[in-house]
Amino acid sequence: MKIEDKVLDLAKRRGFIWGPSPNIYDGGLRGFYDWGPLGKLLKNKVENVLRKGFSGFSFWEVECPTVMPQKVWEASGHLDSFVDYVTKCIKCGASHRVDHLIEDIDDFNEEKLSKLLIEKDIKCPSCNKGGFGSVEPVNLMMSTVVGIDEEVFLRPETATTTYLLFPELYRFFRTKMPFGVFQLGKAYRNEISPRQSVFRTREFTQMEAQLFLLKEHFNDYSENELPLMKFGSDKIEYIKLGESVEKKFMKKESYAFMNYVAYKLMLDMGFDKTKLRIRQHDPSELAFYAEDAWDIEINTERYGWMEICGVHDRQDYDLKRHAEFSKTKMEVQGEIPTILEIAFGLERSAYALLENSLVDDDKRDWLKFEPGMAPIDVAIFPLMKKDGMGDLAKELFSDLDKEFACIYDDSGSIGRRYRRMDEVGTSFCITVDHASLTDGDVTLREISSMNQVRVKVSELKNIFRELLSGDLKFEDLK
């Protein structure tokens, strides 16, 4: 079985990702997925890294509603510009996005796209027979009704709802700039033909950070390198942050800094840096609000290079538009601040981390996570349930589970239990045996080396704190 197939099999079989959801009703609704117990634990770990990371760079967290009135989206430009171009198969009626049928489109004009489909004799991927009719723009916003008849829209990103807070945020930060905030929450996009599993869904979780600034702001990380792929190039170049503007990769030092923040958080999750790149968008494909955009991508086994995070220079577009439509002052010292944005997709990050962590060796299939990133930190086993071993193991589980992600398992042989935990990446296993009842020691096993050491029950919490934070190496335990 190919490694990418093993990942999907593991994800479904061991409770990481299920779907489409709800599966029990006709196979589910495309573009919606359930995250099972282990998947949710992994997603939580990703969230924790991002939350801690953004906070470490002095970004503050906010939370906003997921539903907003139509006027907000008129101001943001989403009602007019947030579209995909769609066509239907003349034979089978299947709908397809035109950019999925034709590569390297440089002119999104309905008439020209329709002619291009005919000229290239594009056949429908669903039936492999039919051609296509007219091309139509379809807005990706999802709408609903509030009260009796007020049409409102579900947000397609968390960013816009954050911008609406600018007057309050400016006062909160005591009228000092720059300042940064981030938001974690759900967003919704009416994807025409969702594919690539959790990489492209209709409901998803974002964590987006916004830096509001009036002038250039650059923290001193100038010696750190970024793996940059400039538009028009197929080569990754490792460029120091302090040289990115001089070498004409980035237009602003503050924007280079935001790319560094995002890249560092990817490394903090445990991604293999040899599989990461930061790729610049084609200027002709920039979003309607963007001055510049770079994506942090990971090379996946199943889907190739896929975007995990986008970093955008949104200029003063958002605050200017909302000032105009709401008649609210957004100026600071006579000018409107600009915004630099980092946008992470949580589901994409968690799936990519799952695939990135799968190790396929001769002895076993197992998941190798960085310290603290495994869904389950510690598994507790009694060698046997009798003679008080089960009772002590349950006591240990009850105590450790208050601080760490733990599981108790007394089913099957110790070898089978180890293999079950290896398959889902559990970092450490504790075995309570006969001797534990008299000497207070337990056997501690580490997943990567499968080495074991005897440790005192009274020292377990401190040991796990240091091991899971990366401050202590397992081989240093005596």
Contact 346/205 with Cβ under 8 angstroms? yes
Domains and CATH numbers, the chain: 3-79+154-357 (3.30.930.10), 83-139 (no CATH), 366-476 (3.40.50.800)
257-313 tens-digit pLDDT: 999 999 999 999 999 999 999 999 988 778 878 899 999 999 999 899 999 999 999
Q: Which residues contact 327 (CB under 8 A, 6 or more apart)?
A: none
Question: How many helices (H) and strands (E) are present in the chain, helices listed first?
Answer: 15, 24
Distance CA(161)–CA(208), nearest Å, equals 11
Contact 87/53 with Cβ under 8 angstroms? no
Of 458, 463, 462, the closest CA to residue 476 belongs to 463
Q: Is the pLDDT score of 100 beyond 90?
A: no
Q: Go through the chain and tell me how many residues it has.
A: 478
What angle is formed at CA 448 by the lines to CA 359 and CA 345, rounded to 5 degrees? 55
Count the helix, strand and coil residues of the chain and give each as a percent rounded to the nearest 5: 35, 30, 40
Average pLDDT, the chain: 94
Query: Residue 219: what pLDDT?
Result: 67
319-361 tens-digit pLDDT: 999 999 999 999 998 999 999 999 999 999 999 999 999 998 8
Contact 87/136 with Cβ under 8 angstroms? yes
Q: pTM value?
A: 0.92
